[in-house]
């Protein structure tokens, strides 16, 4: 079915009949409709309107709070009146990422989807299954007339991906539910009962560009083809970080060829492992032949090193126009320390949890590097399930960048979610899972950021559990969602609502 809330503010797109034909039809229909609505973090006005229209057109009590969170309430069915009310929670925003060679404008074009065997993919962009599948499942529950459930309260938050400001701004006392089901987990055999907290670390600095004098040739160096992925859920996989790999090339070339830097532009969003980075560089003409040979050797070395995690890695050098008298570069007094700090900046797993095998405790993502026009900026996302460990790593990063004259700020911090494995909702959901699928689920914490930590601080007496379908490649154009897994998590959701 298609939601009647697809209004004039949705973007043009094909109707995706192959996706709408999937089961459960209501869920996939809402997902198709949702994927026609631009919903970048911090720019959710259209999707807030869309979600509120779903509630209103279903004849349900619908509220939009001061920041754009949407709350929709549906009364219990007669057989479940008097049972604990349930909050169904998901976030409305999605990560907007596309391949460099994909011609696509998220603001004006709906997500282009395709069905491959048992998976739904997007074409060269993020799919928005994180967390659009959770939102669509909630819409389908609200629209259904044949389900058994207690009082329901849909909480659809904004800006989960870049600061969780929707959850942070939610007013205590607004929600009535006594149990919360978060639908933002990406492994269908897992019940998530805890997550990491995080903080954004930003370092900025300035320099006075100087004229490039002497005989040089300009090139654009690019790192491309990396898998990227979620900077929390995928950080332990050892995938290449484009900012790190480009820095590695620049540092070596500075020593080997006398390279000078005009600008650097690497990464995009803090919660995405950088897939692409580029730099415009100047190489002394007498060093060109030797530098090209060295560059080819480095490209071959990196390809070998990352063949298991990033088999499509490319390191390329493209000739540019001849420099002129107006060509400006970083002073060596800036270039050397900046590259040294980039090399030293922590990236990846800092510590694994000693209590929960396989769980990343603390990490950092060197997410964004911009150097141009006399300014430089470095953006990181530091995560940990232990707030003091998160803050300690953030302080270490601060100290590093302050040593090279940077100004460092932290923002967007949010707490972790402390596990409560004995909570009744966790026990019930695990029991139902085993009855439905013949084996117990994994009950674990994750290194991604969920809003449950913030919501728990506002509603400390509301127990929570998170589950959802298999989603792979979140926060990258490799994002896809497994069809059979959506059906599996849908069965689990309906049975939990029937028995809670």
Residues that are catalytic: 93, 160
Give bridge partners of residue 216 from the DSSP assignment: 284
Is residue 30 classed as helix, strand or coil in its secondary structure? helix
H or E element: which one contains 493? helix 483-499
Q: Which two tokens stand for residue 448?
A: 């991604």
Q: Which two tokens stand for residue 359?
A: 């769980």
DSSP string, 388-438: HHHHHHHHHHHHHHHTTT-EEEEEEEE--B---TT-HHHHHHHHHHHHHHS
What b/e string do you get for 209-237 counting C-beta neighbours within 10 Å, with b at 16 or more?
beebeeebbbbebbbbbbbbbbbbbbbee
Q: Which two tokens stand for residue 397?
A: 């990063």
User: Please, are residues 450 and 90 in contact by the beta-carbon 8 Å criterion?
Assistant: no
> Which residue has 């430089």 as its token pair?
376
Is residue 109 classed as helix, strand or coil in its secondary structure? coil
Give the span between the Cα atoms of 262 and 144, in whole angstroms: 58
* C-alpha dist (Å) from residue 227 to 139, 265, 472, 478: 32, 18, 11, 7
Angle subtended at Cα 129 by Cα 124 and Cα 131, rounded to the nearest 5 degrees: 135
Q: How far is CA 164 from the centre of its chain?
A: 12
User: What is the number of other CB atoms lying within 10 angstroms of the CB of residue 47?
Assistant: 25
End-to-end CA separation in angstroms for the chain: 27
Give the span between the Cα atoms of 333 and 341, in whole angstroms: 13
């Amino acid at each position: 079915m298609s939601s009647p809330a697809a209004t004039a503010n949705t973007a043009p797109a094909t109707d995706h009949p192959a996706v709408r034909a999937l089961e459960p039809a209501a869920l996939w229909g809402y997902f198709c409709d949702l994927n026609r609505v631009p919903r970048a973090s911090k720019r959710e006005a259209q999707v807030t309107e869309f979600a509120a229209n779903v509630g209103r057109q279903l004849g349900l009590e619908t509220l939009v709070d001061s920041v754009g969170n949407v709350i929709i309430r549906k009364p219990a069915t007669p057989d479940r009146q008097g049972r604990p009310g349930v909050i169904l929670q998901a976030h409305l925003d999605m990560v907007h990422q596309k391949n460099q060679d994909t011609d696509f404008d998220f603001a004006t074009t709906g997500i282009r989807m395709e069905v491959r065997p048992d998976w739904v993919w997007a074409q060269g962009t993020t799919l928005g299954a994180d967390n659009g599948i959770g939102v669509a499942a909630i819409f389908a529950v609200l629209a259904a007339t044949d389900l058994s459930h207690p009082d329901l309260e849909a909480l659809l938050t904004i800006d989960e991906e870049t600061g969780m400001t929707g959850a942070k701004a939610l007013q205590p006392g607004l929600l009535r539910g006594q149990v919360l089901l978060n639908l933002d987990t990406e492994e269908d055999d897992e019940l998530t009962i805890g997550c990491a907290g995080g903080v954004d670390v930003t370092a900025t600095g300035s320099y006075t560009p100087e004229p490039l004098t002497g005989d040089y040739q300009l090139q654009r160096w690019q790192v491309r083809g990396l898998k990227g992925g979620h900077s929390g859920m995928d950080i332990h996989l050892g995938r290449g970080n484009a900012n790190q790999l480009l820095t590695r090339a620049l540092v070596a070339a500075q020593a080997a060829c006398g390279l000078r830097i005009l600008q650097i532009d690497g990464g995009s969003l803090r919660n995405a492992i950088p897939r692409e980075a580029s730099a415009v560089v100047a190489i002394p003409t007498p060093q060109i032949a030797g530098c090209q040979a060295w560059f080819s050797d480095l490209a071959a070395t990196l390809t070998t090193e990352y063949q298991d995690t990033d088999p499509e890695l490319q390191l390329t050098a493209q000739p540019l126009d001849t420099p002129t008298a107006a060509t400006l570069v970083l002073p060596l007094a800036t270039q050397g320390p900046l590259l040294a700090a980039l090399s030293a900046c922590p990236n990846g797993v800092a510590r694994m949890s000693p209590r929960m095998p396989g769980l990343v405790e603390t990490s950092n993502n060197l997410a964004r590097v911009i150097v141009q026009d006399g300014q430089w900026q470095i953006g990181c996302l530091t995560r940990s399930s232990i707030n003091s460990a998160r803050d300690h790593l953030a302080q270490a990063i601060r100290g590093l960048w302050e040593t090279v004259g940077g100004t460092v700020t932290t923002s967007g911090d949010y707490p972790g979610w402390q596990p409560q494995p004995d909570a009744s909702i966790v026990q019930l959901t695990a029991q139902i899972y085993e009855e439905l699928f013949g084996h117990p689920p994994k009950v674990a914490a994750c290194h991604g950021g969920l809003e449950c930590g913030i919501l728990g601080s506002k509603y400390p007496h509301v127990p929570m559990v998170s589950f959802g379908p298999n989603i792979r490649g979140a926060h990258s154009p490799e994002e896809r969602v497994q069809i059979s897994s959506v059906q599996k998590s849908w069965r689990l959701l309906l049975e939990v609502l029937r028995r809670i």
